[in-house]
């Protein structure tokens, strides 16, 4: 659901969001009011609180509930190669180009809002395929970040039910996964390419992940995150994503997202097939 500028966050929801922000630093105040209402109401039912005002009081006396609320507020719907056309473009156009241009240096990729890690591992697979196709051994590091540390813990396990692999080609399943106890586990050589780190796109004190280790990123993905926030918050996030890009680096967004107008002279759309932009300034 897209954030609707005409909607307003009600007083009780605002009180809950203010508590999250002042006590933990999590800022959801720019999210869709309808989405917030629906997900907070879900936690009201789960905790047996009568309404959002009662839930706010419950939240202040039950610190462990913050993790449960964070689980429903953060976006955790994902799968491998979620947008097939986009990943086809990344695998056949972007990554081969980046591999050729790397000339032996380390390629740096940032998967922002990575949820359970499917996007990051998908990129790792495509990077490996691009390097193999060109008979090159290109070192690559994918930094995958999310606000929700419980999601990151699951991502590190790299274990997925078969439904999460519905978009994965059979050849890739056989080559990069092993079946274990009814689930599919990502092979260690792919897992080793991905590093998971907590990161908040709306934290004004954080510019980008691992700034002392990674100078800039060649490819930044932030898919299906912006749509849950209003225009002001979208601009804050894109500003951070843009700042993390190296010269001529690529930014990838979800199929229903676009960069704010003020970035149109800084980021050039590369194709009409999907939301891929290249830094030009």
User: Is there a single domain that holds both residue 52 and residue 117?
Assistant: no
Per-residue pLDDT at 8: 86
**CATH number for position 189:** 3.40.50.150
Residues 120 and 229 in one domain: yes
The domain that holds 49 is classified in CATH as 1.10.155
Decide if 129 contacts 57 (C-beta within 8 A): no
Secondary structure of residue 169 in the 3-state scheme: coil
Q: Structurally, how many domains does the chain consist of?
A: 2
Say if CB 221 and CB 255 are below 8 A apart: no
Q: 69 and 88: one domain?
A: no
Report the distance separating Cα 26 and Cα 149, nearest Å.
12
- Is 91:129 a contact under the CB 8 Å cutoff? yes
Q: What residue numbers bound the domain in which 255 lies?
A: 84-279
Tokens of 22: 């002042």
Residue-level pLDDT, tens digit, the chain, 281 residues: 445 544 789 999 999 999 999 999 999 999 999 999 999 999 999 999 999 999 999 999 999 999 999 999 987 778 999 999 999 999 999 999 999 998 779 999 999 999 999 999 999 999 999 999 999 888 999 999 999 999 999 999 999 999 999 999 999 999 999 999 999 999 999 999 999 999 999 998 899 999 989 999 999 999 999 999 999 999 999 999 999 999 999 999 999 999 999 998 999 999 999 999 999 98
Q: What is the pLDDT of residue 137?
A: 86
In a domain, 212, yes or no: yes
Instruction: Identify the DSSP state of 229.
Output: B
Structure token digits, residue 73: 């507020």
CA distance 127 to 105: 14
* 237 SS3 class: helix
Spatial contact of 36 and 2, defined as CB atoms under 8 Å apart: no
- The pLDDT of residue 62 is 96
The single residue listed with the structure tokens 């591992």 is 121
C-alpha–C-alpha distance, residues 4 and 181, integer Å: 43
pLDDT of residue 66: 94
pLDDT value for 1: 40
Per-residue model confidence (pLDDT) at position 184:
98
pLDDT at 231: 94
In the prediction, which pLDDT does 5 show? 45
């Amino acid at each position: 659901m897209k954030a609707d500028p005409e909607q307003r966050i009600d007083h009780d929801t605002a009180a809950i969001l203010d508590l999250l922000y002042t006590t933990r630093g999590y800022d959801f105040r720019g999210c869709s009011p309808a989405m917030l209402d629906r997900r907070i109401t879900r936690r009201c039912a789960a905790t047996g609180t009568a309404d959002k005002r009662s839930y706010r009081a419950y939240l202040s006396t039950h610190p462990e509930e913050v993790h449960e609320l964070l689980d429903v507020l953060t976006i955790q719907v994902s799968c491998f190669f979620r947008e097939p056309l986009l990943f086809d473009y990344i695998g056949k156009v972007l990554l081969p180009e980046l591999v050729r241009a790397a000339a032996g240096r380390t390629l740096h990729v940032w998967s922002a809002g990575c949820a359970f890690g499917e996007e990051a591992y998908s990129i790792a697979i495509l990077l490996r395929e691009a390097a193999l196709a060109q008979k090159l051994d290109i070192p690559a590091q994918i930094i995958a970040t999310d606000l929700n540390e419980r999601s990151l813990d699951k991502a590190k396990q790299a274990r997925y039910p078969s439904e999460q692999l519905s978009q994965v080609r059979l050849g890739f399943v056989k080559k990069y996964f092993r079946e274990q106890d009814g689930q599919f586990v990502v092979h260690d050589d792919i897992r080793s390419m991905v590093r998971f780190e907590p990161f908040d796109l709306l934290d004004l004190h954080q510019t980008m992940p691992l700034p002392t280790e990674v100078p800039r990123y060649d490819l930044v993905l932030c898919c299906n995150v912006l749509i849950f926030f209003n225009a002001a918050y979208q601009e804050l996030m894109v500003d951070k994503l843009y700042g993390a890009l190296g010269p001529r680096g690529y930014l990838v967004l979800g199929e229903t997202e676009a960069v704010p107008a003020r970035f149109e002279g800084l980021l050039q759309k590369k194709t009409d097939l999907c939301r891929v932009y290249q830094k030009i300034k």
